């Protein structure tokens, strides 16, 4: 029986090299992932008759490990939901909070991508390579937005421990230059440990024309906006279906679901009936809403009775000082946001109802984080109907917004509200999203339920906690250790600490006594009840890079006695402030915060890695090349370029897009309509020059070309130029374009043969596929 002896020797060899805990079938070693197959314990004879089978035992979670659902809203302030005293009714969140615990001193990083990196890895955002957003990435390890393999995600850790894992909605942790068909796919959700992904990549998406992926493949919605499509409903349906199907097949197997809507990030796009529910609700203005919120927060106990409402900042206008037009437009923009947030709560309520109907609902832990940062002021002082335009440094004229109020939130607008609504939405705190120095940017509500473990209903927890503490808490709840090695890569220690102990005891000691904050050079340090802050940049000024960090004014607050950062003690306690600044520097060095970088638009223009040679100037694409992200596509901005194509027109009815880049917010399209060649340029939906060929395209094959001659000198951004059309080398029309988009078209993509998503031009409906034949499309950059 030499086969038996051989297998016995293999088993003995395995036992000598495996950790001691891996030698027992009772509890495997979970610190090294994936766990290896245990040694074969059957018998192999010469034939099956004298052999004994022994199937490999796949990893299973520890007994009693719960299902875990992590819900993360986007751009929602502490004082916006009714659950935490705000003006927007959120009955689904209210009901969940009544079943479990409200956390009133929970913290984020103050900006979305970094918050999400901290949440899924349990590490501070700089340690996870995510010091700021992917679109603003720079070539430093803490800022390149390439989450390292040394910071394995909750998806990988739980999957390797036998969980089913999924991710729905927003994914702002895959660099957009890695989101093309060329990959790599290591930093896609499926490459980071999530078995299934359905959602979008980037900071935001159009709710009616989303840029969708299923796992790593682009997919298109099954309905049009006119047929009732909305992404929030779609992703909720997909999440419910996945959860039910998973439990139908393997009811004993726990699951992790990461459910991350794009809501309530701009563009604020609710169904019209939800916007209309709030008509007149905000006519009293942001001052009154903020004061009412503050009173309700005290009434329901989500802020202390002695908390103070922080003073109006100098940049926030008094509602009474506004004219009638401003008050009318601003209140309508807030109604639209409220409809979006309330609709999101309704859809999440459907998900929560499906969870409650599970056979093991009692052993399902729901962690609902109400915002990845504070409310957003990125709509500027007048708000906008084109949020990408606003982010690019071009405010929207108030008359333009007023003219589009009837369309607000629909498929043809991409709205955001004015700065002061964000300030009011973060009551009782100072500042807004991006301003990590202050609680208005970095303190968000959280609700947790777990019926099998949390028996207190409607409880409040006031311990200082942070996003990095969520993953350690999940692991302790499942009785799973933090791994030391994943996929052969040694792991950075978790920066977070489990707060599972506070589930049972409202008086449990703090699990976190020190935490730094830094985004866009806005920085802060919390230590033992004290907090020192240095506000540096303005979130509504992407063109501002003040520098002179040494001139920043630091503030000092005793949070143990001053919940809302209302009383600055810096001038009274200079020695304490100096000690706190020294602690910040120590934490910044330890967590790789440096170098500080306060550039906004300037960082957008920093060249990012591409799937091809960055010096490449000649690109050839073929039909089927669609949904290519902007950073992976040829960068035609701020330079002369040529787009040429070999096409074949049918005898009749030839039309459609040859090449399109961008979408309704900004972009360009080369297409055929009414038999003629058209080049259309969309400058933020405000300025739309186009040229139509002076003669029709012939039936059969022809060569078409658009040549753009840039008028700006080298290094000049956003200048105009001349676009000329050619058919078989004959010039057939030109147009002078007086300005162009300098940095980003926005949230849509590049494609050949169709305009997927929101249309670049208003003259057609997407996808407006080309009805003839395209041999190839060539883009040449000068």
**Cβ neighbours for 133, distance < 8 A, ≥ 6 positions apart:** 111, 112, 113, 114, 145, 172, 203
Exposed, middle or buried by CB within 10 Å (0-12, 13-18, 19+), for 751? buried
- Per-residue model confidence (pLDDT) at position 688: 98
**Residue 720 in this model has a pLDDT that exceeds 50:** yes
Task: Please tell me the predicted confidence (pLDDT) of residue 603.
Answer: 87
Beta sheet of 618-621, edge-to-edge order: 618-621, 773-781, 641-649, 700-710, 721-727, 730-737
455/466 Cα distance (integer angstroms): 23
pLDDT of residue 611: 77
The pLDDT assigned to 26 comes to 58
CATH 3.40.720.10 placement within the chain: 67-132+232-514
CATH of domain 618-781: 2.60.120.200
- Mean residue pLDDT of the chain comes to 94
CATH number of 525-604: 3.30.1120
Span 495-524, average pLDDT: 97
The residue behind tokens 């929970």 is: 106
Instruction: Give yes or no for a contact between 174 and 130, defined as CB atoms under 8 angstroms apart.
Output: no
Lowest average pLDDT, out of 13-27, 79-93, 739-753, goes to 13-27
Average pLDDT estimate for 606-617: 82
Write the pLDDT tens digit of every residue in 259-295. Answer: 999 999 999 999 999 999 999 999 999 999 999 999 9
In this predicted structure, what is the pLDDT of residue 240? 98
Q: Which fold has domain 67-132+232-514?
A: Alkaline Phosphatase, subunit A (3.40.720)
pTM: predicted TM-score of the whole model, two decimal places: 0.94
- Cβ atoms of 453 and 364 within 8 Å: the answer is no
Residue with the larger pLDDT of the pair 658 and 652: 658
d(CA 285, CA 224): 35
Which residue(s) pair with 416 in the sheet? 384
Report d(CA 142, CA 594) in Å as an integer: 8
- What pLDDT, on the 0 to 100 scale, is given for residue 392? 82
Q: Which residues are within 8 A (CB) of 340 and not within 5 positions of it... i.e. 6 or more apart?
A: 263, 264, 268, 269, 270, 274, 275, 409
Q: Do strands 101-107 and 443-449 pair parallel, antiparallel, or not at all (unpaired)?
A: antiparallel
Residue 273 confidence (pLDDT): 97
Confidence band (pLDDT; 50, 70, 90) for 3?
very low
Mean pLDDT computed over 492-519: 97
- pLDDT tens, residue by residue, 412-424: 999 999 999 999 9
Q: Where are the beta strands (DSSP E) in 355-407?
A: 364-369
pLDDT digits (tens, 9 = 90+) for 521-556: 999 999 999 999 999 999 988 888 999 999 999 999
What residue spans in the chain does CATH classification 2.60.120.200 cover? 618-781
- Mean pLDDT value across residues 370-393: 93
The Cβ of residue 692 has, within 10 Å, a number of other Cβ atoms equal to 15
Summarize the confidence of residues 639-645 as an average pLDDT: 98
Instruction: Encode pLDDT of 682-713 as tens digits.
Output: 999 999 999 999 999 999 999 999 999 999 99
Q: Say yes or no to pLDDT of 25 above 80.
A: no
Other C-beta atoms closer than 10 Å to the C-beta of 781 total 15
SS percent in the chain: helix, strand, coil, step 5: 25, 20, 50
* Positive or negative torsion for Cα 294, 299, 303, 308: positive
């Amino acid at each position: 029986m030499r086969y038996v002896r051989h297998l016995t020797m293999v088993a003995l060899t395995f036992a000598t090299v495996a950790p001691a805990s891996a030698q027992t079938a009772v509890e495997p070693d979970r610190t090294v992932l994936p766990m290896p197959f245990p040694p074969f314990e059957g018998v192999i004879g010469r034939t099956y008759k004298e052999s004994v089978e022994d199937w490999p035992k796949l990893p299973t979670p520890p007994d009693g490990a719960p299902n875990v659902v992590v819900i993360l809203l986007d751009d929602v302030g502490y004082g916006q939901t009714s659950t935490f005293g705000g003006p927007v009714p959120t009955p689904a969140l209210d009901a969940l909070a009544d079943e479990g615990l409200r956390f009133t001193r929970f913290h984020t990083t103050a900006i979305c991508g970094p918050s999400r990196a901290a949440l899924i890895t349990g590490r501070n955002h700089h340690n996870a390579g995510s010091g700021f957003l992917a679109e603003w990435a720079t070539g430093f390890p803490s800022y390149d937005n390439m989450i390292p393999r040394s910071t394995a995600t909750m998806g990988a850790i739980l999957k390797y421990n036998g969980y089913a894992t999924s991710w729905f909605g927003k994914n702002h942790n895959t660099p957009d230059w890695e989101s093309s068909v060329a990959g790599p796919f290591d930093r896609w959700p499926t490459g980071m440990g999530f078995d299934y992904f359905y959602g979008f990549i980037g900071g935001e998406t159009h709710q009616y024309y989303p840029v969708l992926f299923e796992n790593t493949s682009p997919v298109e919605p099954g309905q049009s906006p006119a047929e009732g499509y909305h992404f929030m409903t779609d992703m909720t349906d997909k999440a419910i279906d996945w959860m039910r199907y998973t439990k139908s097949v393997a009811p004993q197997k726990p699951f992790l679901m990461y459910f991350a809507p794009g809501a309530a990030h701009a563009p604020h796009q609710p169904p019209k009936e939800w916007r209309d529910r709030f008509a007149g609700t905000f006519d009293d203005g942001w001052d009154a809403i903020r004061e009412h919120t503050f009173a309700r927060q005290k009434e329901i106990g989500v802020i202390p009775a002695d908390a103070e409402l922080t003073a109006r900042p100098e940049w926030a206008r008094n509602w009474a000082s506004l004219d009638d037009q401003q008050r009318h437009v601003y209140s309508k923009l807030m109604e639209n946001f409220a409809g979006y947030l309330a609709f999101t709560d309704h859809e999440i309520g459907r998900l929560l109802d499906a969870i409650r109907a599970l056979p093991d609902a009692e052993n399902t832990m729901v962690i609902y984080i109400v915002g990845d940062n504070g409310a957003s002021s990125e709509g500027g002082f007048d708000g906008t109907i084109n949020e990408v335009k606003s982010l690019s440094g071009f405010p929207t004229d108030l008359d333009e917004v007023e003219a589009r109020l009837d369309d607000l939130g629909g498929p043809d607008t991409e709205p955001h509200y004015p700065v002061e609504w964000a300030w009011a939405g973060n009551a009782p705190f100072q500042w807004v999203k991006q301003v990590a120095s202050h609680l208005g940017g970095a303190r968000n509500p959280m609700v947790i339920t777990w019926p099998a473990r949390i028996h207190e209903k409607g409880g409040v927890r006031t311990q200082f906690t942070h996003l990095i503490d969520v993953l350690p808490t999940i692991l302790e709840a499942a009785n799973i250790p933090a791994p030391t090695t994943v996929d052969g890569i040694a792991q950075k220690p978790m920066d977070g600490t489990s707060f599972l102990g506070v589930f049972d005891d409202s008086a449990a000691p703090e699990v976190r006594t020190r935490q730094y904050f830094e985004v866009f050079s806005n920085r802060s340090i919390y230590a033992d009840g004290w907090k020192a802050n240095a506000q540096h940049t303005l979130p509504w000024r992407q063109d501002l890079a003040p520098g002179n960090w040494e001139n920043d004014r630091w503030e000092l607050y005793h949070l143990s006695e001053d919940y809302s950062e209302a009383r600055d003690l810096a001038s009274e306690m200079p020695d304490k402030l100096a000690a706190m600044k020294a602690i910040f520097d120590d934490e910044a060095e330890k967590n790789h915060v440096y170098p500080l970088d306060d550039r906004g638009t300037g960082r957008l223009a920093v060249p990012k890695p591409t799937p091809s040679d960055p010096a490449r100037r000649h690109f050839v694409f073929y039909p089927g090349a669609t949904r290519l992200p902007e950073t992976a596509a040829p960068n035609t901005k701020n330079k002369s370029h040529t787009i040429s194509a070999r096409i074949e027109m049918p005898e009749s009815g030839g039309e459609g897009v040859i090449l399109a880049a961008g979408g309704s917010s900004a972009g360009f399209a080369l297409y055929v309509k009414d038999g003629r060649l058209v080049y259309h340029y969309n400058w933020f939906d405000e300025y739309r020059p186009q040229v139509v060929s002076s003669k029709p395209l012939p039936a059969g094959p022809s060569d078409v070309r658009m040549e753009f001659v840039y008028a700006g000198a080298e290094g000049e951004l956003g200048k105009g130029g001349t676009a000329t059309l050619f058919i078989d080398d004959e010039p057939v029309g030109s147009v002078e374009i007086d300005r162009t988009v300098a940095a980003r078209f926005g949230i849509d993509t590049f494609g050949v043969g169709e305009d997927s998503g929101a249309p670049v031009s208003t003259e057609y409906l997407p996808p407006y596929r080309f009805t003839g034949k395209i041999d190839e499309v060539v883009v040449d950059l000068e």
